[in-house]
Chain A
Amino acid sequence: GQQVMQIPQYQHVQEGEDFTTYCNSSTTLSNIQWYKQRPGGHPVFLIQLVKSGEVKKQKRLTFQFGEAKKNSSLHITATQTTDVGTYFCARLGSSARQLTFGSGTQLTVLP
């Protein structure tokens, strides 16, 4: 199936610094979703992007879908300790059944 690659695998930032994680695919994506998983928790849906060049914001989080629909990014401005966790991108299959997850970026925020 279509794989999504995610970088970096780990990111340590000082509280207040910005953070960005990237998701890339070799093929065109019909959609991209982003999830957050806190340590010891379960994935929680953040957002879905479907349009070329789409940009969506949720408070300090900015999500982008590339013009070619082959990449996406999640940017967090002025990180807080509550942002700690692993951020996953995922592609929902055309039949809206199977989610294919990237490997995730584990964010650590140092106080």
Chain B
Amino acid sequence: DAGVTQSPTHLIKTRGQQVTLRCSPKSGHDTVSWYQQALGQGPQFIFQYYEEEERQRGNFPDRFSGHQFPNYSSELNVNALLLGDSALYLCASSLVGGNEQFFGPGTRLTVL
């Protein structure tokens, strides 16, 4: 039973560029959440997707957008990258309304 998978593992971009991160949820899960974790801090909620729609959004600008596909996988897009966007981006999957979120290994994004 595969857990949550994310790609790529690492990514280096320059300021102003755009990036797309991908996530496949744990088998049987239908809900995907994205978190940003800066070095030395706790994860910060970006948004959650269910039934291909954004259900809830954290305090992140519109440069951060997402998508969920019919197979429940999800993408996180970040436009006009800033140095401060450098972080570990974590995807977590769950069943809708479930209490436990299963985190993927994350994508380490470095913006130069």
A residues with a Cβ closer than 8 A to B are 31, 33, 41-45, 48, 88, 90, 92-93, 95-104
A65 to chain B, nearest CB (A): 14
Q: Are B99 and A101 in contact (CB under 8 A)?
A: no
A100→B45 contact, CB < 8 A = yes
Is B17 interfacial (CB 8 A cutoff)?
no
Which of B42, B58, B101, B105 meets A88, CB within 8 Å? B42
CB-based contact B103/A98 at 8 Å? no
For chain B, residues 76 to 109, give those with C-beta under 8 angstroms from any C-beta of chain A.
90, 92, 97-106
> B35 to chain A: which residues have CB within 8 Å?
99
Q: Which B positions have Cβ atoms within 8 angstroms of A?
A: 33, 35, 41-45, 48, 55-56, 58, 90, 92, 97-106
In Å, the complex CA distance between A42 and B101 comes to 12
Interface of A, secondary structure class, is loop
- With known contacts A43-B103, A44-B103, A99–B98 Cβ distance under 8 A: no
Beta-carbon contact of B100 and A43 below 8 Å: no
> Given that A98-B48, A103-B41 are known contacts, is A31 also in contact with B103, CB under 8 Å in the complex?
no
Residues of B within 8 A of A41 (CB): 105
> In the bound complex, how far is the Cα of B48 from the Cα of A98, in angstroms?
8
What are 9 contact pairs spanning A and B, CB under 8 A? Answer: A42-B90, A42-B103, A43-B43, A88-B43, A92-B99, A96-B99, A99-B43, A101-B42, A101-B44
Known contacts A43-B43, A45-B102, A104-B42; 14 further A-B pairs (Cβ under 8 A)? A31-B99, A33-B99, A43-B103, A88-B42, A93-B56, A95-B55, A96-B99, A97-B48, A98-B56, A98-B58, A99-B45, A99-B101, A101-B42, A101-B44
A97-B100 in contact (CB<8A): no
Assess the B56–A45 pair: CB atoms within 8 A: no
